[in-house]
Amino acid sequence: MGLITRTTRLSLLEVMIGTFPGLAILTMSVGTNFIGDSLRDFLDPRLRKEI
């Protein structure tokens, strides 16, 4: 295995090490935001419409 091949594999690993946790954090924060907005819309009496 040459030096260039080894370096390419290491740099791809470094990209994946940073990307996947970042995507997990992004997914959790967006999901939490949607759940929080839905709960606020459901529970806030000022936003409820009178029928």
Q: How far apart are CA 7 and CA 15, in angstroms?
A: 12
Q: How far apart are CA 48 and CA 28, in angstroms?
A: 28
For 1-48, how does the pLDDT look when each residue is reduced to its tens digit (9 = 90+)?
Answer: 566 666 677 777 788 888 999 999 999 999 999 999 999 988 987 877
pTM of this structure? 0.64
